[in-house]
Chains A and B, each alone.
Chain A
Amino acid sequence: MSLASCAAPPVLQLQGLVKHYGRLRVSDDVWLDVAPGEIHALIGPNGAGKTTLIGQIAGEILSDSGRILLGGVDVTGERPHRRVHRGLARSFQITRLIGGFSALENVALCAQALDGSSFRFLAPVRRDAGLNATAIAALVETGLAERADIPAGRLSHGEKRQLELAMALVASPKLMVLDEPMAGLGKAETQAMIAVLRRLAGQAAILLVEHDMHAVFALADRISVLVEGRIIASGPPDAIRADTAVRAAYLGEEA
């Protein structure tokens, strides 16, 4: 366990989360902590329940039982948008962007959510210098600044993933939950994304779901392995890499 996690309270705590779909147990008593500033990777076979877990953390999916704490506050019953205001940001496994908005507007939209009330009906938002500056900063950080004015729908796949990330980090979240940010990226783009995430690690804790083991081992401070809804192992990368159960259930020959 890293030093940081001992010093401060965890930004995210999952305490015994359970979720069923019919008779299928998708989350099965999940306990998990994410410490401030930590990159915590969550890996596991397809269908293990990773995306579902993210849905529960974000509040889109209601858990059958268990508790979710953000920064020590119980948010189990809170609605999704409230959790954003508590410093949670997420990206989607399949990109979800406002296709008709420019990249800048997509990011500015997210910035706007945390910048006072949006029940403002008069001032033209496009010319809101404050919002735009914040948004540009996030685009610069993810390397998308040049594409700021392109409608999101026309970006290439890789750029869309970068944009997703920019939208997550513009809110200066305490915790970012990223669902397969490398999916569909080429080698080069993956490298770039790794670099970006490493830079971000100082600012926010990250819960990273990813199947790209190269990226996971390059980034993670800690790894938890989810299999059939249960955390079967949790620890530093080297320990996980060596874990025979993990190898059998997930890693195989890789890494």
Chain B
Amino acid sequence: MLELSDVAAGYGGNQVLFGVSLRVGAGEAVALMGRNGMGKSTTVKTVMGLLPASGGAISFAGRPILGLPPYRIANAGIGLVPEGRRVFPTLSVRENLIATARAAEAGRDGQPKAPDWTLAAIYELLPRLAERQRHLGSQLSGGEQQMLAIGRALMTNPRLVILDEATEGLAPLIRAEIWACLERLKQAGLAILVIDKHADALARIADRHVILEKGRVAWSGDTNAFRADPGLKDRFLHV
């Protein structure tokens, strides 16, 4: 579904990604891992077209998307929960959710249309948002903002969601709920690319793991292989 091959990117003269290749199949969940500053968020930004790539190719659902403006990439069916939440501070919770909402497209390739995420469904998933629906984005607590960012991405009814540290700052209970929710989304056929520091939880939902080290893919393989090799964590994720 999403395929990066040999992607290079950076900020100004400062190259951060040196040939990243990875793929997320339809309905698959992939965990992108790595220590702070290894280029995980940069990869996400490059996929979304928020950062120009200096080399390589990216395609989504078979079509090349590299070089397209972000809105066209999003419209192709990618939903983003960005690092740092970035909820709209001057919009109410409800407005945050509906401002960029889109109905699900009729499934391509003869697949049935996935059930629509609606306001009601989001409120059911994250009841806290319903309680705060008239609050402005800026008046939410950190965790509430995080929930809102997730809800907002789902409201675009994507075929692939990218979650960049989506559980940062969430209380343990809520975090658990989010994981459960991701599992359900996966079962409903949604593809997921997830970045998170909770490796154990990731291992429960991810089909495959990709580890970044200094802008390069240092290891990738399926989750069983990841679990089987505790040395991986020591090498790439701890000091």
Contacts and interface: CB of A to CB of B under 8 A. Distances in A.
Interface string B128-161: 1000100000011111101100000000000000
Interface string A188-201: 11111000000000
Chain A's interface size range is 35 or more
- Count chain B CB atoms within 10 A of each CB in A47, A94, A157, A253 and give the residue with the most: A47
B139 A94 contact: no
Contacts, number: 95
B171 A191 contact: no
A127 interface: no
B176 A188 contact: no
Interface string A43-56: 11111111100000
A251 B173 contact: yes
Given A46-B147, A180-B142, A189-B35, A93 B169 contact: yes
Contact of B37 (A47, A94, A158, A255): A158
A190 to B, nearest CB: 8
Given A21-B139, A213-B172, A254-B176, A187 B144 contact: no
Contact of B239 (A191, A249, A253): A191
Main secondary structure of the interface of B (DSSP, over half): loop
B237 interface: yes
A250 interface: yes
Given A47-B132, A47-B144, A249-B173, 10 more contacts: A46-B142, A46-B169, A46-B170, A50-B141, A157-B37, A184-B36, A187-B199, A192-B239, A211-B175, A255-B172
30 contacts: A45-B171, A46-B128, A46-B169, A47-B144, A50-B141, A94-B84, A94-B142, A156-B37, A158-B37, A159-B36, A159-B37, A183-B142, A183-B169, A184-B36, A184-B83, A186-B35, A186-B36, A186-B197, A186-B237, A187-B199, A188-B35, A188-B36, A188-B237, A213-B172, A249-B173, A250-B171, A251-B172, A252-B173, A253-B172, A254-B176
